[in-house]
Amino acid sequence: MKALTWHGKRDVRVDTVPDPAIEHPTDAIVRITTTAICGSDLHLYEVLGPFMTEGDILGHEPMGIVEEVGSEVTSIAPGDRVVIPFQMSCGNCFMCGQGLQTQCETTQVREKGMGAALFGYTKLYGQVPGGQAEFLRVPQAQYSHIKVPEDGPDERFIYLSDVLPTAWQAVEYAGIPDGGSVTVLGLGPIGDMSARIALHRGHRVIGVDIVPERLERARGRGVEVLDLNDHGDLGETIREMTDGRGTDAVIDAVGMEAHGSPGMKVAHQLTGLLPSSLAEKMMERAGVDRLNAVYLAIDIVRRGGTISLSGVYGGMADPLPLLTLFDKQIQLRMGQANVKRWAEDIMPLLLDGDPLGVEGFHTHRIPLEEAPGAYEQFQKKQDGMVKVLLDP
């Protein structure tokens, strides 16, 4: 089959690789009809290379048609149309019972001290072949799937794999009061969708980015947008917009790629120059994140407010201003999205009209063969690229 594989920093290629096969009774094989490039895939493209191996298949936002199931998979059958969550979870353990599927005790990558295994996402999360391919082996398929109707375009359901539950959880964790306000830092796919969900719930949304196309896209949905380049003191600007307090909540949808923090930019570059074994230790034990977005969030949020982190961070020893967090009584919530926990809440919005605009959410749809160029464009924020769907 054809699959997008990692070959080094800023080097991804479409290769011919062996077709996947059933390995365990809880596996399924899915023929991928649509898959997507996620903003966190860019971390593999740029920063997290020390945790990758040449030939790793990327991608964790797939959907398609079930081709084959193992003997213990009874909830889906060949011919079913399914979306595959980006994490693998069993549905039976204590953590899954708590709605914390990203901490699934069956698929936890214990040798790395990490949570549930993820598709196409480094040795830290199990090094499981990903979904930017023609076929995908799905472990724990008795639970790790979301069955969707046979009718309706893939664009209606594909975002159940990651974007929708990640954005939904970001808004849930933000704890915005009724009629309250939220600042969304970063208007890429997750920030954009978080803003849409918050607007749908009746909140005031202020969106911040530096990319004109992303700002205009959010403005068109009713978001009050601010270009970070135009505001030297963003916190003061937002306090002026909110009776001197700041917004009730802030969603950081940027993560380790935040602009600013020049020292951490050097750390990013250094990891690319070190041998993989040394770079991996640096990533695991040192602060390598560009924390400008976190610092902005702490400044922007009102006293007693909540910060919701949905952006991916990779360093183990990143400095946080704990005195300010304590003094302002800020609540901080974060974590990978628990996809299955939120799927039932989201599904009605996909079946009754399209209030979140999911069918027009993608900016580009291209063949899988063109994915390497799309990675480069997405990383450079060119051609108005916000969300890319791939046709295997």
Q: Does 135 share its domain with 72?
A: yes
Query: Looking at residue 352, what is its pLDDT?
Result: 85
DSSP string covering 284-331: HHS---BTHHHHHHHHHSPTT-EEEE-S----SS----HHHHHHTT-E
Q: Which tens digit of pLDDT belongs to each residue from 280-332?
A: 543 444 444 457 888 999 999 999 999 999 876 655 555 778 788 888 899 99
Q: Answer yes or no: are the C-beta atoms of 316 and 285 closer than 8 Å.
A: yes
Structure tokens at 213: 């196309």
| Chain centroid offset of residue 225 CA | 22
Q: What is the CATH number of the domain that holds 361?
A: 3.90.180.10
Q: Among the three residues 311, 334, 357, which one is the final residue of a domain in this structure?
A: 334
Query: What one-character-per-residue DSSP string does 244-284 give?
Result: TT--SEEEE--TTB-S--HHHHHHHHHHHHS-HHHHHHHHH
Return d(Cα 220, Cα 187) in angstroms, integer. 13
172 shares a domain with 156: no
- Do 322 and 181 share a domain, yes or no? yes
Task: Tell me the three state secondary structure of residue 50.
Answer: helix
Place of tokens 């009605």: 348
The answer to whether residues 281 and 224 belong to one domain is: yes
Q: In which domain, by residue range, is 369 found?
A: 2-162+338-391
- 221 and 300: one domain? yes
Nearest to residue 119, comparing CAs of 40, 181, 222? 40
pLDDT, residue 322, reads 79
Count of domains observed in the chain: 2
Q: Give the percent of the chain with pLDDT over 70.
A: 89
Domain match, 280 and 347 both: no
Q: What percent of the residues of the chain are helix, what percent strand, and what percent coil, each to the nearest 5?
A: 35, 20, 45
Token readout for 101 is 């599927």
Q: Within this chain, do residues 117 and 214 fall inside the same structural domain, yes or no?
A: no
pLDDT given at position 50: 79
Whole-number Å distance between alpha carbons of 77 and 249? 43
CA distance 290 to 43: 12
pLDDT tens for the 392 residues of the chain, in order: 999 999 999 999 999 999 999 999 999 999 999 999 998 898 888 877 778 999 999 999 999 999 999 999 999 999 999 999 999 999 999 999 999 999 999 999 999 999 999 999 989 899 999 999 999 999 999 999 999 999 999 999 999 999 999 999 999 999 999 999 999 999 999 999 999 999 999 999 999 999 999 999 999 999 999 999 999 899 999 999 999 999 999 999 986 554 444 444 444 444 444 444 434 543 444 444 457 888 999 999 999 999 999 876 655 555 778 788 888 899 999 999 999 999 999 999 999 889 999 999 999 999 999 999 999 999 988 899 999 999 99
Distance CA 373, CA 382 (A): 11
* Domain final residue pick, 301, 318, 334: 334
Does one domain contain both 151 and 26?
yes
Report the CATH number that the domain containing residue 212 is assigned in CATH: 3.40.50.720
Residue that finishes a domain, picked among 334, 354, 373 = 334
Looking at the fold, whether 243 and 358 belong to one and the same domain comes out as: no
60 and 178 part of one domain? no
